[in-house]
Structures are given as C-alpha cells and as structure tokens.
Amino acid sequence: MKYHIWTIGCQMNSSDSLRVAAALEARGYEPTEDLRQADVVVLNTCVVRQSAEDRASGFLWSLKPLKERRPSLVIALMGCMVGVRGNGRLRERFPHVDVLMPPGDVQPLLIYLDQRLPEERIERCGGDDTPVLPDSLYGQLVSVPVPVVLGCNLVCSYCVIPSRRGRERSRNLEVILSEVEALAQSGVREVVLLGQIVDRYGYDLGAEAPRLPDLLAAVSEVEGIARVRFLTSHPNYFDDRLIEAVRTLPKVCEHIEVPIQAGDDVILQRMRRSYSVDDYRRLIERIRARVPECSIATDVIVGFPGETEQQFQNTLRVLAELEMDVCHVAMYSPRPGTLAATTMVDDVPPEEKKRRLDAVNALQEEIAARINHRLLGQRVEILVEGQQKGKWKGRTRTNKLVFFSDDSGRDWHGELVEVVITWTGPWSMQAELATGHSSEAS
C-alpha cells in the first residue's frame, strides 16, 4: 500500500503533511512520487491567495480521471480549503473526494481507512500523539517546522486564516519539547517554531503561562538541536523580552520575520493591522540596536482596495528606508468572508497590481544584493541541508542561502561548516570551505 501527499502553502502545511505521512507509515503505507502507484492521495491546501486555491482545485480535478479508472483510490482533501468548520459545498463540487480533513487533523483519514480496510486496523495516532516524522525521512531532514501556536485571534481585514484555522491555541510546552527531542534523535539539527502569530505563544493560556522567550530557552536546551528559528511575528507582540532572547540565546538564530504589509497608515488602518508605520519603524530600530547582526524579513501586500499611487509610493519609501533582507510581496486577492471582500471594492486593476509587485521586487533585489555583498570575503557558519546540482547547500544563521563545492567525498549533510563567501547575489551566495573550518557532527 502506497501514499502520495501534495502540499502547497506555508510551513504549517508542511508540518501537517509530515504528520499525515508519519501516521500513514505507522499503518504500513509507503511513500511514492508516482500518483499512478498511490493507494491514498492527500492534497494539503492553501487558500491565502486565490492563485493557491486555483492550483489546488486544478490538481484536484486532474485526479478525477484516475479515480474513475481506479475507484479504490482514496483521495483526501486537507488544509485551509476545508477549514476547521468543514465545507459541505466541497462534497458537491468534488464528488470524487473521499475524505475532508481540517488543518492538522489526521483523524478523518485514519477513521475512513479503518472503516474501509478494517483488517488493516492498528492503534490510531493523532493530535499530539502522532509520530513527529515518517520513518522514510528519518536521518534525512536537517530543518523541520514545529507548530507551537495554532489558529489566530486577530482579524486582519484581508486574511482568511482565522476562519479556516480557528481560534488561537497554544500547544503545551512539554509536548513541544517532547517533539523536538524526538526530532533531534532522528538527526534533525534545526527546528522552526511556527505560529500564525508566533510571538503570541502562551497568551491564551493565562498570565502565568510561558511565553515565546521561555519556549525558545527551553527548546535551546534540547541536546542535538544546533539552531532554533521562529516565525511569523506580529509587530505588536515583538517585545523587548523576545529581542533579548534572540540576543542572548546562542542557538536562536538572528533572523526575524515580522510583516509590515503596507507603508501607509491609512492602508494599515483599512487592513486592521493596529499599528502605524512609525510603530513598525521604531520596532526595527530597537531590534537593530540590540541585535545589530540580525537579518529581518517582511511581507507586503500591494493593490489593497483603495490603495492610491501615492500610498503605494509610501510603501516603497519605507522599504527603501528600512532596507530589509527579504521582502515577500503579494498582490491582494479578495478572500470570501473577509471584511475586505465583503465591505471594500477591489478597485486596483490586475495590471496595476502586477506593476506594483514588480516595483517592490525590483527594489528588494537591489537592497538584498547590497546587503549580501557585505559578506563577500567573510567567513560564515552554515548548516548544511543537502546537495543541489552537485554542490552542497546550507544557510547562515541569518538565513542566507549558501552553496559550496567539495570533491573530498565527505558527507556534509547536517553539519555546521565554516565557509568563506566568494560570490554574492540577491538570493544566494557561493563559497569555499574555510581553512581550518569547524564542524559539528550530528
């Protein structure tokens, strides 16, 4: 029996897919990249953008002929396309789908398989009891995402996530530590702590509950874990304690993802982001004052309803001023049920949205190229993740992608390696092994 999982979207979806794979392999299924050989196909979907939902729908329709030829094929639809409250219309729209699975919930698929194949029933595992990694990936993954806070209580006017992933729920610290320890034992060297708003970890558990800085400190104590990252943060909750944790905890990487979304106060108000451009600017100043070597990534949405050319230029000016290491930019697309979709007119033409997206990307390419060029000739440490086109690749603590060659035949997978940067570009860098480099085996 074989399974195939198709995943798009955020790292939360990647983590959910790992759990599905682990649960299936615990039942004796084996992974396959060939859909034609699969007995179970799982689509883990994203609907943050219309383009992502369109991709999922297209892929789902492409499975219908395969289902008609092989009625025994089990097709499961998972993730934000289903949502925490379910979506009955999906049954009518995609009658060839057998199972609907809310984000992160393996149980509907396992129960269906039990009912369909009772002779293969084994003890089910789900929720926090689900294996962390599938057996097929033990010893292969260097960096793994770990959800720490699920859902979201904020209601940004453009965002569908609260309705699809539910209310904010922080996971128990001891359960998270147990997962991280299991990952370390499987050879994982880096964990990425995830949340829609990760710096709100613990807020729903009471005033005395641990917060993200406490969790970072606890995870840093896990033997075998070399690096700890976290994302995505919200400007309103990135407090001085968290900055201090990044500054003082040796395993916590100096890389922060904190979206601005727009560089104009009127647009931020319409987005219901509850901070101003100056608030965001002061946060970046505080971070850089206390962690000067820190890299910072941000998100921007262009073409939000009512965004004028002047307001867009304000965003460009803020990005040029702050010079972020990375800027993830997306064109606004209305999502059903959101405040923006129901009360605002999507009045920026598609071609204008694309022009603005291209302008942000062009500016960011210049900024990133300039920032990365400062590393030319510098000695940096990277955590090697694997090989690509004959070269080893890894990331610096500040999340810069670095490639290097080595003809010695040594397996660098999962090691911390010091290299010297020999070429820089906006998106990646080339390097050579440093003389007398240090490394730490798994």
pLDDT digits (tens, 9 = 90+) for 45-77: 999 999 999 999 999 999 999 999 999 999 999
Taking only the tens place, the pLDDT of each residue in 86-110 is: 777 898 899 999 999 999 999 999 9
CA distance 163 to 151: 9
Radius of gyration of the chain (CA): 22
Q: Give the pLDDT confidence of 235-292 residue by residue, as tens digits.
A: 999 999 999 999 999 999 999 999 999 999 999 999 999 999 999 999 999 999 999 9
Q: What's the confidence (pLDDT) of residue 126?
A: 40
Mean pLDDT, residues 342-354 taken together: 98
* Residues 355-369: b if buried by 16+ CB within 10 A, e if exposed: ebbebbeebbeebbe
**Across all residues in the chain, what is the average pLDDT?**
94
Cβ neighbour number for residue 201 with a 10 Å cutoff:
29
Q: What is the pLDDT of residues 2-12, one digit of tens each?
A: 999 999 999 99
Q: What is the pLDDT of residue 441?
A: 40
Instruction: Provide the pLDDT for residue 52.
Output: 92
More confident residue, 341 or 439: 341
Residue ranges of domains in the chain, CATH in brackets: 2-128 (3.40.50.12160), 379-440 (2.40.50.140)
| H-run or E-run covering 321 | helix 309-322
Concatenated DSSP letters of 338-359: SHHHHHS---S-HHHHHHHHHH
pTM, entire model: 0.93
Under the banding of pLDDT at 50, 70 and 90, the label for residue 436 is low
**Cβ 333 vs Cβ 310: under 8 Å:** no
